[in-house]
Structure 1
Amino acid sequence: MLHRRNKNLRVVSESGDPTDAIIDQIMTELNSEDNPVENMEEQIRQHKARFRRRIIIAVSAVVAAAVGIYLLIHLQTYTKARVSDTYAIKGAGNNSYEEFADGVLKYSRDGVSYLNHKGEEEWNQPYQIQNPSVDVCGDSAALADKGGNSIMILHKGGLKGEIHTTLPIEKISVSGQGIVSAILKNESSPKVICYDTAGNVLVEIKASLSGSGYPVDVALSENGEVMLVSYLYTQEGRVTSKAVYYNFGEAGEEKADHQVASKEYEGTIFPSAFFMKGEISAVVGDDRLVVYKGLDEPKEQVDVKIEKEIKSVFHSEKYIGMVLKNEGKEGYELRLYNTSGRQVMSKDFTGDYSQVKLSKSQVIMYDGKKCTIFLRTGVRKFDGEMKSNILEMFPIAGVNKYIVMNADGMEVVRLVK
């Protein structure tokens, strides 16, 4: 086929691309320098260093501000409490209250109920008890008729079981699983009995004044497998106490009465026995604190002599607290020990407080309207009065926030200057 050439078409040459010129210029400058790659790497290192310095300065400023705010909040003493919320509770003044799980147990002779942090009743269990006494372990609680024959096992979800005893109840202890130990009163032969949540007897130990001694206090481990009993008896005319451990698991199967450990202490009385976190337990006498460790075969870890008169003893999972009467000067000493038996806090204070408790590493003392709060560090966080008599008090989430139970119901308060 014959092709005709189009004379109207012509070839147009492209003009120079400016990008090429820029690239050529950069390459020329780089090639004119000594070690261009090393210079670029140095610039990158300097840039990274400047960036890191800016980050460090910014983080340091944030941390310094946070520390300053923390110190401002926690290192000063507040003297007033501002009420932020009030929840009325019918007949509140006729009830007793106990911090429990994520709320409060409200109990009286006629029944027990569980309140949330807004004063709302989650559940209610009626009963007839003359002298209610409560013990709490985690999300479980036991409510006994002291001097009577009834024990109610409670969980944060409601009633878990009921127990009816054959002898008057003197003291109780509950585990986190709801197992209950009770000292049953009998003039000649008192008993220490363990019950499951259905009221079945798991273990029954008969005590005698001439043999094991009189059971003064009882405590259960969190899992309910180990029981600690402090006994009191006289030996050759001298008062003697004994700390005895019973293991209801494999460790105590081959032991007589499941007893796995026992130790005597002459010249002292142990009115207080309790378990703490994990394998730690303790007995506190009128002149000493003894800390044990272990569950299969508990061993004494430390025996701390207390030189001052002990006015009261209280504890949490982490700390053992005491109020001691000062000698030669006015007031009292507040002292805290950790689970190793080491003293971690000591502060003097004046005034008498009928209620002392540990909650979230804070020592809360109150009597009527007056209240004082010490942190575990020894800082006196609050020293003042509430508007009404305090029936129960404990810290909740939020800066300086507490729940206070009084005759009007529940109040959420914030500590202020």
Structure 2
Amino acid sequence: MRSLIGRSFDAVALQEQHKRRRNCIGITIVSILLCCVLFYFAYHWFLNRQFTSHSVTSTMKVQDDKMVHYRSFESGILRYGRDGASAISDKGQTVWNGSYDMATPKADTCGSSVVIADIGEKSLYVYKGSEDKGASFRVDYPIVQACVSEQGIVAVLTEDISSNTIYLYDLFDDSDKLLAEIPTNVDDGYPVSLDIAPDGSSIVVSYLCVTTGIAQSRVAFYNFSDVGKNENCFVGAHNYNDKMISEVHFWDNDHVILFAEKGFAVWENMKQPKAVWKKSFSGEIQSAVVNDSYVGLVLKEGETESRLYLYGQDRERKLAINVDSSYDHVEMSDDEVLFYTAGSCTIYRTNGVKKYNEQFKSKISAFFPGKRHNRYFMIQNSKVKVIRLK
């Protein structure tokens, strides 16, 4: 039988063990809380960090003229002009290039696909990321507008003397390049804006109509699924008697945004299209930008100030801030809005924080976001520069 002294010693040891365990648990909890606090402040610092200068990480020399244009494309940029186009990576390297001869080239991109159309002429150049080479093509009538889907399907609006026609092409299909032909007539009006869904399943067109001397807009919806297999793939239309729809833009495969002078409307269900929500403003829209998450609008608020509004697909306003109205161009990436002129650039995060502001010593011709953290493209002095903010 154990003595009372032995039992007392075991009790003291057990108490010490419980005490150490409580201390260990307490230290662990405090450490976790401290890590959470540090993470919160680090994340807050990251979201609100501001930059006023940059360093150049790579440079590519290019021969530019007034007819050379740039636009964001995948993780890099697209450079195109009268004699060809090339894709440039976020490391400043040429990914692919293609040659053609055009008088007035204009590009549209979607995913890894590109279409470049000679506006007023009849030639097209299409590049699809999965293909080794681009495809050139000529249509029968002068081109008014062209747009492309993610799969490289191209919608082309052409014009002859008495009518307009929309053609749907898959230039990489050897068996049947022409997928659909949609004629329009004088009663439909004059086409103003055209867009194709990212999956190529639908097209939306805005027409300008003049009835009894009054200008109005008519928006037509076309679908190429089984639902749209009627005459001309037509599935619906809507007349806007009190506003002009100057631009249409697909937000995703089943939502399209219609932009007017003082607001926008969102339609959904491209098989049976219907308006689901809209926003109106007292002032006119200066600029509009769209990405997968937001639609952004810049409205004139005074002589020197404008106001930036961001809306999400949940119909909620995400941001409303004053911005300088002296910008020439605006771009939007995943969570940033960029304003730039030839001499300066300002970047706002979608939380409203001004991330970057810099006055440049030499004029720039373009400024675009990159996909890597704090990396951007600057076109300056016939050079494509990849820069890092600091």
Q: When the two structures are superposed, what TM-score results if normalisation uses the length of structure 2?
A: 0.89
Structure 1 contact 91–407 (Cα < 8 Å) conserved: no
Structure 1 regions of 5+ residues with no counterpart?
A: 1-23
**Is residue 357 from structure 1 mapped to residue 339 from structure 2 by the alignment?**
no
- 1:8-62: CA deviation from partner (whole Å, max 9, x where unpaired): xxxxxxxxxxxxxxxx97x96675599x7xx95x877765554343333223323
* 2:117 counterpart (144, 149, 152): 144
* 1:235 counterpart (191, 196, 211): 211
* Distance in 2 (alpha carbons) for counterparts of 1:179 and 1:280: 18
**Is residue 318 from structure 1 mapped to residue 293 from structure 2 by the alignment?**
yes
* Distance in 2 (alpha carbons) for counterparts of 1:59 and 1:242: 60
Q: Which moved more, 1:343-352 or 1:44-53?
A: 44-53
Structure 1 residues 62, 266: CA separation in 2 closer, same or farther (over 3 Å shift)?
same
Instruction: Show the counterpart of 1:301.
Output: 276
Instruction: Show the counterpart of 1:205.
Output: 182
* Distance in 2 (alpha carbons) for counterparts of 1:29 and 1:142: 91
Structure 2 contact 104–120 (Cα < 8 Å) conserved: yes
* Distance in 1 (alpha carbons) for counterparts of 2:19 and 2:157: 75
Instruction: Show the counterpart of 1:11.
Output: none
The structural deviation recorded for 1:76 is 4.8
Instruction: Show the counterpart of 2:256.
Output: 281
Structure 1 residues 141, 120: CA separation in 2 closer, same or farther (over 3 Å shift)?
same
Structure 2 contact 319–350 (Cα < 8 Å) conserved: yes
Alignment: residue pair count:
385
Instruction: Show the counterpart of 2:148.
Output: 174
The amino acid of 2:329's aligned partner reads: Q
* 1:372 counterpart (323, 346, 363): 346
Alignment of 1:62-81 (within 5 A): 62-79=35-52, 81=53
The structural deviation recorded for 1:287 is 2.4
* 2:63 counterpart (61, 73, 91): 91
The structural deviation recorded for 1:275 is 0.7
**Seq. identity, %:** 25
The structural deviation recorded for 1:183 is 1.6
* 2:133 counterpart (144, 147, 159): 159
Structure 1 contact 242–264 (Cα < 8 Å) conserved: yes
The alignment partner of 1:215 has SS state of strand
Structure 1 contact 92–406 (Cα < 8 Å) conserved: no
Instruction: Show the counterpart of 1:54.
Output: 27
- 1:209-262: CA deviation from partner (whole Å, max 9, x where unpaired): 2x2221111111111011111112123333221222111012212x33212222
* Distance in 2 (alpha carbons) for counterparts of 1:174 and 1:397: 22
The structural deviation recorded for 1:397 is 5.1
Instruction: Show the counterpart of 1:392.
Output: 366
* Distance in 2 (alpha carbons) for counterparts of 1:51 and 1:257: 74
Instruction: Show the counterpart of 1:3.
Output: none
Where has structure 1 moved over 6 Å in runs of 4 or more? 42-45
Instruction: Show the counterpart of 1:5.
Output: none
**CA-atom RMSD, angstroms?**
2.7
Instruction: Show the counterpart of 1:111.
Output: 84
* Distance in 1 (alpha carbons) for counterparts of 2:109 and 2:237: 26
Structure 1 residues 169, 47: CA separation in 2 closer, same or farther (over 3 Å shift)?
farther
**Is residue 250 from structure 1 mapped to residue 223 from structure 2 by the alignment?**
no
- 1:298-333: CA deviation from partner (whole Å, max 9, x where unpaired): 221112222211112221122111221115x64211
* Distance in 2 (alpha carbons) for counterparts of 1:366 and 1:413: 15
Q: Which has the larger radius of gyration?
A: 1
* 2:192 counterpart (200, 204, 216): 216
